[in-house]
Each structure stands twice: as structure tokens, then as C-alpha cells.
Structure 1
Amino acid sequence: MIDRNNNGNNMLPFINTDIDSNSDVKLTEDQYEVYVNGNFVGRKTLKTQGEDLSDIDDFLRNQGFSDFTTSVDGDHYSIHVDHQDDDLSNALSVYFNNR
């Protein structure tokens, strides 16, 4: 029988910690649908902590594209160019298929 009045309490201490509140560790993968001028071109999954949606922008700039704007709305990443740019869409399709 456990003596609950004993100062040498036989119960293990309970430590309450909120591991996720101060942690920068990525617990799940984020996935975004990517659109160019409203047309779906692929999905970008952020698998590691270091990945970011701006990786898409960096890829496009490295491919020579510079005349575009981007925005995020929920899980949709929209890329807008002033004209329909099939080369940009094709480059992104290759990018998503190689990932």
C-alpha cells in the first residue's frame, strides 16, 4: 500500500513540457499546388526544414526568368507573368518532375 501522506512520495514526478511551441523542427511535409497565370503546373512539397517556396523563384531566376510575381493563398502558390509564358510553365514542369 502506498502511503500518500509520506513526504518521500513514491510517485514519479510529472513534467509538463510543450516541445512543439519552441521547436523549429519540421514535423510534417507542407505541400503546395503551383499555378502559372491560373493554370496548374505541379505540386511543391517542402520536405526538409531548409526548403521554402522561394526555392521556386530561385529556380526560375537561375533559368533566366525575371518578369514574374508570386503570391501564396492557403496551399496555392500562384505565379503571374504579364503574358502567357509556356517556357516558364515547361521549366516548372521539369522542375517538379525531377524532385
Structure 2
Amino acid sequence: MPDLYPYSAEADPIKNEHDSYNVYVNDNYIGNKILFSQKENIQDVSDYLNNKGFYNFQAEVEGDHYRLQMTELDQGELVIDELHSYLGLH
């Protein structure tokens, strides 16, 4: 039987869907960040937070997860509120 799908999606350099990351703050799921253009990248989330005055966090990409760990835990709720606005969740 012939292979009806000779090309895998992984081999196709053209994206059929937008990249999407699950965003977490202190291990709590906040929402998804969808990258709509090739100019966007997941580090834009950290840049946004820096522009809002938040610097005390560690950011890590793990597969399709973007994890922010706050070094000052009392800022977690403020960061979550900012991310809700940034991700369009409000």
C-alpha cells in the first residue's frame, strides 16, 4: 500500500500552526502564549515583564512549557495579573 502522507510535518519547514507555549509562574499554569509571527519568540514574555518593572525571576523553556520562577514570592500575584493582561486572559 502506498504511503499517502510521504512528508512528515516535522520535515516541512513551513509552519502549519502557530507555536504555542504553556506559561507557568511558580509552577502554576497561567495560560498560553501563541507566537503569531516568526519575529515573535517566547522570551518576549520576559521582556514584557522587565518593561513592567519585574526583574526578580528565572525563566526556562522546557519543550512547550515556559516556566517563570519568582525569586521574590510576594511578586507572584502581581506578575500573574500582568501576564493575564499580556496573554489576553482578562
Shorter-chain-normalised TM-score: which range? Answer: 0.7 to 0.9
Q: What stretches of structure 2 of length at least 5 have no aligned partner? A: 1-10
User: Size of the alignment, in residue pairs?
Assistant: 78
Taking the aligned partners of 2:48 and 2:30, their CA distance within structure 1 comes to 15
Distance apart, 1:26 and its partner CA: 4.7
CA RMSD of aligned residues (A): 2.0
Q: Percent identity?
A: 36
Report the residue type matching 1:74 in the other structure: G
Are 1:73 and 2:69 matched, yes or no? no
Moved over 6 A (4+): none
Distance apart, 1:51 and its partner CA: 0.4
TM-score normalized with structure 1 length? 0.69
Q: Which has the higher contact order (CA 8 A, sep 6+)?
A: 2
The correspondence of residues 82-93 of structure 1 with structure 2, limited to 5 A, is: 82-84=71-73, 85-93=76-84
State the partner residue of 2:86. 95
TM-score normalized with structure 2 length? 0.76
Taking the aligned partners of 2:40 and 2:16, their CA distance within structure 1 comes to 13
State the partner residue of 1:38. 27
Larger Rg: 1
Structure (1 or 2) with the greater strand fraction = 2
Are 1:62 and 2:21 matched, yes or no? no
